[in-house]
Amino acid sequence: MTMGAAGEPGRVVLSARDIEKSFPGVKALKGVSVDFRAGQIHAVCGENGAGKSTLMHVLAGAYPADSGTILYEGKPITLHTQHQANTLGIAIVYQERSLVPGLTVGENIFAGRQPRRLGLVDWRAVERGARQTLAQLGLEIDPRQLVVELPAALQQMVEIAKALSVNPRVLILDEPTATVTQRESEVLFGLLRRLRDGGLAIVYISHRLAEIFQIADHVTVLKDGAFMGTEEVSKVDEKWLIKRMVGRELYVTRAPSPEAGERILEVEGLSDGDRFREVGFHLRAGEILGFSGLVGAGRTEVFQTLFGLRARQAGRVRLFGKPVRITSPREAIALGLGYLPEDRKEQGLFVEMAVCDNIVAAALDRCRRFIELDRKKVLRFSEEYRSRLSIATPSVEQKVLNLSGGNQQKVVLAKWLLVNPRILVVDEPTRGVDVGAKLEIYSILRQLREGGTSIVVISSDLPEILSIADRIYVMCEGRIAGEIQGSAATEESLLSLSSRFEPPGGPARPAGGEA
Amino acid sequence: MRPPDRLRAMGRALLFRRSLSLLLVLLVFGGIMTAAYPDIFLSRYNFSSILLNMSFDVMVVVGMTILLIGGEVDLSVGWNLSMSGVIYALLMTRLNLPLAVALPVTLAIGAACGALVGWIVAYVGVNSFIATLAAGLVYYGVEFWLAGGQSVTHLGPEVTSIGMASWLGQQLPVWYAAGVVVVFLYLMNRTKAFRQYTYIGMNAQVARYSGIPVARMKLLAFVISSVLASFAGLISAARFANAILLVGQGMELKAITAAMVGGISFTGGVGTLAGALLGTLFIALVNNAMIIATINAFWQPIFIGVVLLGAVVLDVVLLRVGSSVGRTRPTSKAAQPPAAPE
């Protein structure tokens, strides 16, 4: 293969024209038009849910657009599969790793299209081809090495090498620095600049603003699926970006914050030795506390640790004035904590079980009569919470699988309400639910607070946090970046705190990348 | 509800509840056998012999079913059963221990083995398929080593006292099995603690997030399964006055087969103990019928294999029908935007 097949820099290679894409209940892209040019790095940025990833998926053929045109080398194309996009010359590297860790670098680069000889895989050709590809990228990686043995950044490079081995003219990178350290990012940026200078059109998705100024030539901002503008990076500053990224309507008007009660949860110097360190905060009785920050900032991990789902390395936790050391969710629940997890299907719901079985799952002890599980109590509690949260299901014996996303989320909420926690942590409580269910969930949370439950809302949705939190902590790169009163917070202030710290380059992660 | 609706509802209940449909099959099967061999099939002697043959299987099936519902499996029960018979016999014949010591010691060894394997699976995180396969090999070797490669035969009256007697016309092992069935049917159907196995088998991660003590319950299931296998082994040695080295060979697969014919799913969380027991009865009846009809013995595994395949194929088909028919609206995965990884 040859690197940088594309022609003179500046020529438009790939264009999107008025691309629209809807998912049930959400309009993910509302007429987006962008040009991507050879020999340039074009950043696409926006908040969570702005439509960046959707746009990239459409451009890479992973799903079809509802309307609009994609032009490749000036000609309109219709993509049905990603393979088709690859063949044309559009390659994508997803956020999630696609490498098989137990195979060698060479095998991964040639996965699915190994050179053959006499019907057998020609391993020498694989090795030779991989060595050549890696050398062209300036990477000193042995193609015979197992992927699992490589540090994160080098795995990322192999991922890029794999994408480039189809000899594309456009390379799309979806948050390539999400899992690598800053030092490793530098190596990656070096590679990207070399590829750009070779004439490749690079589309770079990121929500780390600092990176855009480091690496990109052009930047396009999306907000709620709408195109907010494209500009040369040299002509804009961070303020310009933030101004275009934010400004969505609040979902509900803010309720006045209640009198702050005493501190019922105090956390000091909490570290898990991996995803977060030195985290300290407190929660007051009767407040809704927001935890904001970018995905991967460590918010979820902090509360998983408090709930006994992750091991803690250091730190002190005082709950209702008493020092506690929680090692299992069972203990946490017994102490009055509830945690509604972010992944509904993998952590929150038994999708193959009935609504009633789900609602009582965390509170089986409340449905007990001596050692027996009292089916009547199960049904009574489920009916009670079904009507209280107006869960739309023909029967509580219906499988959860058959409910809509919003109703599924209400089932998880019901499950945690039945536990009757004094502190309820909700992690991305409205992810994947429609606007109507969102508003219902907010009003349930407010009612809960009035009933004396203190609430922590972890959310990547800025308008959500701004409209319901009385006080907000912002996390960045595993640390608390700041604390703001809900009434004083703005999307701008939350966003700038979210990128306050550089990614850790220190000893927290294995350093690597001698390439 | 109008009659056609009710009929349809009944039809669906029959299709979707394996224990009901299996019961129906059993009744039809029993009817055919009664008509064909009225003197033999319905005789008291035949009845007793079916029950006696089943009683050892039943104890193993109970333990296996709890594990399968909880999403695990125990492939060591066969060799565990054989080894326990040998240990029990040797404790009394070679060490001259009284029954009151040999019995609890054998069961305690069973419990300890189950606890160790359960710990390896539930706390260390080794796949139960592999952990119990390995444990079975160890039991097999230990048994042959202890017994010097010879079955322990001609056991004396004290050894056999807990196995040989009859009560109310049925032999003791039948009563033991009945006791085990009653206790565990109650535990599995009614108690909160054992209900947790369904949750664990459905999705162990969600169960953990819900505060269910997943690891502890899994360990307990391995202990139960192991103790029941030990008990079946020592009762078998007592009943037949011989601790036969290969008595439990293949028992684990037999138990899994019975459970799956009875509607238990290998993926966990699905099925009931009652269904699994009906599956055991079904296999016992088929065996019995083949003996009565003097059909060559090699037809038996063929028939059971076909029945098992039929049952699991039915499950797959029902799962498809169930997921397209039982919907209130075309929702689930389709209705949600793919979680945009931004």
The minimum CA-CA distance between B260 and chain A, rounded to whole Å, is 19
**Which region among A308-312, B165-169, B230-234 has the lowest average model confidence (pLDDT)?**
B165-169
Cβ neighbours of B328 in A, within 8 Å: 393-394, 398, 402-403
The minimum CA-CA distance between A222 and chain B, rounded to whole Å, is 12
pTM of the predicted structure, to 2 decimals: 0.78
Any A CB within 8 A of B212 CB: yes
Report CA Rg, chain A: 25
Residue range A9-57, pLDDT digits in tens: 788 999 999 999 887 666 788 889 999 999 999 999 887 668 888 888 8
Q: A149 vs A380, which has greater pLDDT?
A: A380
Q: Going by DSSP bridges, is the β-strand pair A263-271/A12-23 parallel, antiparallel, or unpaired?
A: unpaired
Q: How far is CA B298 from the centre of its chain?
A: 23
**What is the predicted pLDDT for the residue at A503?**
61
**What is the predicted pLDDT for the residue at A246?**
75
Polymer length in residues for chain A: 515
Query: Six-digit token pair at A167?
Result: 């000899």
Q: Say how many Å lie between the first and final Cα of chain A, rounded.
A: 21
* CB-count exposure of residue A188 (10 Å: 0-12, 13-18, 19+): buried
> Please, which residues bridge with residue A170 across strands?
A90, A201
Residue range B246-274, pLDDT digits in tens: 999 999 999 999 999 998 988 899 899 99
A326-A344-A437 Cα angle (round to 5): 115
Cβ neighbours of A46 in B, within 8 Å: 342
Task: Compute the distance between CA of residue B143 and CA of residue A383 in angstroms, rounded to an integer.
Answer: 55
The size of the A-B interface in CB pairs under 8 A is: 125
Please, are residues A18 and A70 in contact by the beta-carbon 8 Å criterion?
no
For A373, the closest of B191, B208, B338 (CB atoms) is B191
* DSSP string for residues in A434-447: -HHHHHHHHHHHHH
Per-residue pLDDT, averaged over A305-326, amounts to 94
**Which region among A58-62, B79-83, B310-314 has the lowest average model confidence (pLDDT)?**
B310-314
Dihedrals phi, psi of A65, to nearest 5 degrees = -80, 155
CB atoms B195 and A364 under 8 Å? yes
SS (H, E, C) chain B: CCHHHHHHHHHHHHHHCHHHHHHHHHHHHHHHHHHHCHHHHCCHHHHHHHHHHHHHHHHHHHHHHHHHHCCCCCCCHHHHHHHHHHHHHHHHHCCCCCHHHHHHHHHHHHHHHHHHHHHHHHHHCCCHHHHHHHHHHHHHHHHHHHHCCCCECCCCHHHHHHHHCEECCEEHHHHHHHHHHHHHHHHHHHEHHHHHHHHHHHCHHHHHHCCCCHHHHHHHHHHHHHHHHHHHHHHHHHHHCCECCCCCCCHHHHHHHHHHHCCCCCCCCCCCHHHHHHHHHHHHHHHHHHHHCCCCCCHHHHHHHHHHHHHHHHHHHHHHHHHHHCCCCCCHHHHCCCCCCC
Any A CB within 8 A of B265 CB: no
Task: Compute the distance between CA of residue A27 and CA of residue A21 in angstroms, rounded to an integer.
Answer: 6
Identify the closest residue of chain A to B328 by CA–CA distance. A402
The minimum CA-CA distance between B266 and chain A, rounded to whole Å, is 15
The percentage of residues in chain B with a pLDDT greater than 70, rounded to a whole number, is 88
Amino acid letter at A475?
M
**What is the predicted pLDDT for the residue at B7?**
65
Cβ neighbours of B190 in A, within 8 Å: 372-373
The secondary structure of residue A110, as a DSSP letter, is T
